[in-house]
Structure 1
Amino acid sequence: MFFRLLTLWLCWILDAVLTIEPSWSNFFIGEFVTFKCDMNEGKDTDWEYKTNKDGRELIRYSTIKEATESDSGGYSCRGRRDYFFSEWSDIITLTVSSSNRPVVTLYPNWSEIYRGETITVRCEIHGGDTEWDYEWETNSMIKAPNQNEYRIRSASSSNSGNYRCKGRMKSSQHETTEWSDSVTLTVSDNEPRPVLTVSPSWLSPGASVTLNCEVEHPSAGWSFYWYKAVPDLSEKSSSYELLPDGNGTAQDSYIIHGQTHTAGYVCRAGRGDPEYHTDHSRPKFVWSADVHSAASLTVSPDRVQHFTSDSVSLTCEGNFTEWRVRKFSEDGRLYSDCRRMTGSTCDINTSKSDTAVYWCESGSGEFSSAVNITVQNDGNGPILVSPVHPVTEGASVSLSCSLRTQKILSNVFFYHNDKLIENDPRGELKISAVSKSDEGFYKCQYSGRESAQSWMSVKGEQDQNI
């Protein structure tokens, strides 16, 4: 049983790798072709292999003694051990043609090349031991030298164009091949910028957080670098600190275990030899409402929702001398400075654009808890009065509904996760002993008008010490 489980585990983590020898992209009729399938770089020898051509499984297909045009197609392989199979390898395309017409190839063969990358344009002529001189024809602004390959060390848009080649026998300068088909090289002057996403963006203390980094062409040879954003108040920006084992990973995701506090992250990508690097992504944040972090943020008045033109104070607290209040708005923009910062307090006269997530950063690089603030744009509509910070299990809490002109309302309906709590209008919603089941979105309704909904978080008593 243990052996079968181990074998299943090996099958899950190992992939088959198919290679073709000789390693040409184009063969001619009558040539000899060898297929080689390996598991674990050939270190595992007790696997059996099967080959697949254009979706049809072949029996013990390892060589083609005399290639024909019908052998052209896409080949892959997989390994079998006992009753378990590996995944099929990546597909390798074999092309068999009837003449020694040259083939132009790009190495690496990426669909888009960016300015500054290294690319090689190669002319391949197969068949016999003939030695060739090469001639290139291109409509790019820079001409290729008369060699079998042209290495472009720092590509630019001037290298874009169609490339084709032909060969001339060194032993007989009158004998030439046909022109190859043209291959188009496209070099973009745009600089790729990866996009980072985080999940979850709001977390419970100790949760795992997954970072995902995406570039325009994710399968085109990228490796990824992962960084934590470290506040730098003197430069009004952040520096980036490489995360553990975050240096050039093959995977486009990175998991952080045991995240407890608000933090910012960025990624970038690299590929090629020498390696070309993208710019850093825009920072993305994981927010924690935990008020027991080294720094904290308090809001006055203590509620999530506010009317336009309300005066709201955000105060940073902790054993630090320098602060800045940061804001991540609904449209995804990050703001680094408060317009009116006095000491450790930021004062806001609210407008619709102030609907955002807020937190504090210290000169020592600490992040505070984060809070949501929602600004009501309907001057005649109600707002829900609910606490900014999480409520501890067992504590009491009171939610109410307010108009700009009237702070205490009666005949109010309250909703929890869009479900009417009781079909009985009241002035406020009192929960004498909060439980985890009370967590969720709340909103109120008065005279047919609804407030926006706000999330009320409930934390366990054990979380107090985290």
Structure 2
Amino acid sequence: MNTTVTESDSGGYSCRGRRSSSWTEWSDTITLRVIAPPKPTVTLQPSWTQIYSSVIYRGETVTVRCEIQGGEGAQWTYEWRRGQVNIRPTSSEYRISRATESDSGEYSCRGRRSSSWTEWSDITTLTVSSPPKPTVTLQTPWAQIYSSTTVTVRCEIQGGEGAQWTYEWIRGQKNIHETSSEYKINRVTESDGGGYSCRATRSSSWTEWSDITTLRVTDKPKAELRADRTAVPVGGSVTLTCSVSPSSSSGWKYYWYRNRKPYEPVTNGQISVSEGGLYSCRGGRGEPVYYTEDSESVWIDTTASNRPVVTLYPNWSEIYRGETITVRCEIHGGDTEWDYEWETNSSIKPPNQSEYRIRSASSSNSGNYRCKGRMKSSQHETTEWSDSVTLTVSDNEPCPVLTVSPSWLSPGASVTLNCEVEHPSAGWIFYWYKAVPDLSEKSSSYELLPDGSGTAQDSYIIHGQTHTAGYVCRVGRGDPEYHTYYSKHKFFWSAGQFVSLCHFNKLMFCD
């Protein structure tokens, strides 16, 4: 009887017996099949170590298992080695608690039943390393993160995929109650901003804390609307441009509104419009759409064909302080009723009426004036601006100059008085006075000469003068009438008479 079989012992076996000279029949055949013991396989538990490069982390527990396919139920004895070094266990499992780098190596095993050994298994490599350092990333399609958007903060462990990690999160020095690899923030606010860090554990092994990744939340942006002009010219258009700052932002579509209602389904940042109204815009991006705040509204007018004209009344080349002047805005054509708007660089702005009456002009009224009209029946319809008209108000008082001819005369001769003023054609009328001395009061008064009130002539003739006398003049114009100061005294002398000049006191005279 064989005690050790080999594959050559395989075959069909039968037998017969003999007693004396008599043989039995041959027995039925029994087949013996001798095969080599199956080759073991080394596996690692938990299962992720088999899928992801047989890597475990320092401090974790792993079971190295020797499996013999088809050998279940047999009484096997096992032999293990790591590299070329035999290790102690004789069972099918080798449990490593709190692994260290020294447990790394190439593991193989074989099994024995009776006196028969299996082959050595193929090598399975176990690597024990430090847990990888996680990385925190921000999942958002935009470089700039605005309030009310959705942001996912993710903790990524390179090479740790498939493992059952439990995560821990902090923002600044505060723990976040989240144990998964993602922390989703819906409608992010400024309070969500800060430095995020994470770590993870599986079994009893913790990774390091990740480096800090800072989430910066910017206030919700506001769209900006610009117009290349504020009124649609006759037969033309106005270009409107909508933008969102900063310029590095991308992916925006633009939504337009006229009179606070959607204008037209365009998403361009620039449009041309040919009708007046109150325009605004906003930006939007993403899905669902995240909208910016609305821009400031811009009022666009439509220009009527009528063009106003600014006139000055009276239209004198020089206006003096204290005079009355009217600035008029005149719009010709049709029976349209208008509201008026003025624009000036003077320090005083006219009221929104067709006329601006300045009752006592000063240099603060000097400037360029222009106007436009807005239809009362359609507030989007305006005229163009008129051409500018310049109003100049002088703070210098005009000073008339009186001359007398001749200054010496014989009794009974005629005397001619001439009163001269700057800008003589500018509507001046003349006033002529005789100075009458009052010797008791040591003063003088002024009498209008006959027909000497408000004459259009700048000269006055006195016939048959017999006495030494003094005369003055002044001028005036406008409604209400503006008067200059009196001229200086002028005398003519009658032979044989002398008059003390001390009696002609100075009232409102030119210097």
Give the TM bin, normalised by the shorter chain. Answer: 0.3 to 0.5
| TM-score after normalising by structure 1 | 0.42
| TM-score after normalising by structure 2 | 0.39
State the structure with bigger RCO (CA 8 A, min sep 6), 1 or 2: 1
